[in-house]
Amino acid sequence: MAAGRYRRFLRLCEEWPVEETKRQRDLGTALRQRVAQAFREGENTPIADPEACDQMYESLVRIHTNFYKNKYPRLKDTTFTGVTVEDCRMILATDILKQMEDMKKGTWRRLREKFSAKKPEEDLK
């Protein structure tokens, strides 16, 4: 029965999209890593708690198929601030977050990082 569970998780991983804008912070990537970790031996992996495994799979399927989004439709696709889904995606993109982090740094620190041979973390020690 572990083989069937393994195949179901693999199928879910194949269907789950990867967001290129969220490098190293994507739910699809994290899911693939967890499945690979949980099923190290592939179809021959012994499952300690089959009920918990099935429950986790069903929960992930509900997330993937937007079960609750469809069950409880929203009147508007904006937040209380008026920000749309596309605006949120753009703001949460890795490149934008990196730019914002760079903007938070002071001028002196940016210059020091640019011209310094050692890492800034070493200066703080």
Task: Give the mean model confidence (pLDDT) for residues 15-42.
Answer: 85
Task: Give the mean model confidence (pLDDT) for residues 72-77.
Answer: 82
Span 86-110, pLDDT tens digits? 777 777 776 766 776 766 777 777 6
Percent of all residues in the chain with a pLDDT value above 70, rounded to a whole number: 85
The Cα–Cα gap between 13 and 32 comes to: 6
User: In this model, does residue 83 exceed pLDDT 90?
Assistant: no
Task: Give the mean model confidence (pLDDT) for residues 5-17.
Answer: 91
Nearest alpha-carbon partner for 5 in 60, 57, 59, 61: 57
> Which residues, 6+ apart, have CB-to-CB distance to 12 below 8 Å?
31, 57, 60, 61, 64
What is the residue-averaged pLDDT of the chain? 81
Confidence of residue 26 (pLDDT cuts 50, 70, 90): confident
Confidence of residue 62 (pLDDT cuts 50, 70, 90): very high
Confidence of residue 66 (pLDDT cuts 50, 70, 90): very high
